[in-house]
A and B are shown apart, each in its own frame.
Chain A
């Protein structure tokens, strides 16, 4: 089984996010970078599918050269090969991103690598567009299940699980297929030291991304009005317990 997982490099944000002066991005000077959370789980899913069923796993990203760092993180977790669609750092809109990924998949296919399972994150932590995986699925004429929190594969059939308000919805379908993954589908492993060392030596294939911008264009980013509150300190340590109970009574919770 050949698995493709598409990831995105995003800043690891803390308690506040600051917009840059030109309002086009966020201040990242003091931030590290990471794989977008849903996609971290997609990487884990790719590695464990190949462990279970054999075959190969490929990680792909569209982004500037620094995104190689996240590809190496994925390699360290056990992904076999990495491909970067290298950009100059400008943001690609979801239509253009989907076109570039589709072309890259077609190219891999021409070179003899056909993917049975294509994994995406349900939505990127930063842009939250909710559509790249679906667009790629249509372009490749593949079925697509979004937002999955469970995936079982037997031969060429897949059962994907999605959480609903009241339980689970199950989708049974044939492979090849596209799945967009939600955090919670698994608990990603930590990279091993030998894994990290091996990842450093693995080549990262570079491709030129091809895609045309669609009709969604960012004008600027802004911070929503935050409701900073005036906190009432009820006390220090266990002595505060009676005051907490008073509040619970005021709120009619006891």
Chain B
């Protein structure tokens, strides 16, 4: 069988799990084996109801009195004990922070290899996988040889697709034996973000600034533009590394991945690590005085000019 690990936070589904399940279902069909799902923690029990629409006839609920909140090592041990019982040919998890983390723990416990952030899986002996390198700027084709293959699926490479017909499913509970030690890392407290600013990841318009902005003060006009458009401000790695913006505003491989309707990139040349962060933008408008900047090759609209002239003119135009 193929097992898919469903990621959730206190019972709230991470939707990347559904992309992973779609990929897992294709793999199960290719290999002629059933697809089953793993859910860890009683509070996520109701998520099982969503599984049959994705072609999952059997759901395993890993249940333990201490499995109440996220504890990666305990989750992994529970999953590993279930795997020993079920002997799946592959276990898939979403390529999210938690998906990668929990599966890495499973890999470490079992001493199995793990392929992170796969975009394609070809079953066989060995499995042949394609995975992201350089944050997605390159792809790697690799062979994965193991009794049980551990794979995480890169986000947004497949549309989550429900089946037309859904059938009944079976929910089985499994209670692993967990030791105190496995809970030495668990969430002990949460701090919610305050403020009602539009988040970079969800904004419909993002105004980004790079080296060309020149200073922290240079971002004032970008802030104003974003304010008028109801959007958020971000920056390139240069802008955050120079301290012009906090790191949480970084767009790119080591920052936030954005997916706005329009990304207005000001004074950004378009390093590959930046471009992987704005791949999800529907449209890109570039404001840059260097027409030769590589970002023009990835943009829909361009203005050749100094952002310090163009942005204030645009603000004035919008206000008039």
Residues of A within 8 A of B (CB): 13-17, 19, 26, 37-38, 93-95, 98, 123, 125-131, 134-135, 137-139, 143-147, 149, 162-174, 182-184, 187-188, 214-224, 226-229, 231-245, 247-248, 251, 253-254
Q: Is the CB of A231 within 8 A of B314?
A: no
Q: Is the CB of B285 within 8 A of A236?
A: no
In chain A, what residue has the closest Cβ to B308?
A: A238
Q: Mark B237-258, 1 if CB is under 8 A from A, else 0.
A: 1001101000110100111000
Q: How far is the CB of A214 from chain B (nearest CB, A)?
A: 4
- Most interface-central of B109, B133, B300, B314 (chain A CB within 10 A): B133
A-B contact count (CB 8 A): 263
Report how far A163 CA is from B302 CA in the complex, Å.
Answer: 34
B248: chain A residues at CB < 8 Å are: 163, 184
Among B129-163, those with CB < 8 Å from A are: 131-146, 152
Report how far A94 CA is from B15 CA in the complex, Å.
Answer: 28
Q: Is the CB of A134 within 8 A of B104?
A: yes
Given A37-B254, A95-B113, A131-B104, do A248 and B229 touch, yes or no (CB 8 Å)?
Answer: yes
The 9 closest A-B pairs by CB, nearest first: A184-B247, A238-B313, A215-B113, A138-B108, A15-B294, A237-B305, A131-B104, A134-B104, A241-B317
Partner of B229, one of A128, A130, A171, A254: A254
Number of chain B interface residues as a range: 35 or more
Q: Is the CB of B301 within 8 A of A247?
A: yes
Q: Is the CB of A244 within 8 A of B317?
A: yes
User: Taking the complex as formed, is B188 at the interface, i.e. its CB lies under 8 A from any CB of chain A?
Assistant: yes
Among B81-112, those with CB < 8 Å from A are: 97, 100-101, 104-105, 107-109, 111-112
Q: How far is the CB of B48 from chain A (nearest CB, A)?
A: 23
* Chain B binding surface, main DSSP class: mixed
Q: Is the CB of B187 within 8 A of A15?
A: no
User: Taking the complex as formed, is B66 at the interface, i.e. its CB lies under 8 A from any CB of chain A?
Assistant: no
Q: How far is the CB of A109 from chain B (nearest CB, A)?
A: 19
Given A146-B101, A251-B283, do A128 and B134 touch, yes or no (CB 8 Å)?
Answer: yes
Q: Is the CB of B136 within 8 A of A224?
A: yes
Q: How far is the CB of B290 from chain A (nearest CB, A)?
A: 12
B171: chain A residues at CB < 8 Å are: none
Report how far A143 CA is from B143 CA in the complex, Å.
Answer: 30
Q: Is the CB of B116 within 8 A of A232?
A: no
Report how far A134 CA is from B102 CA in the complex, Å.
Answer: 9
Report how far A130 CA is from B134 CA in the complex, Å.
Answer: 12
Q: Is the CB of A240 within 8 A of B143?
A: no
Q: Is the CB of A166 within 8 A of B192?
A: yes
In chain B, what residue has the closest Cβ to A182?
A: B254
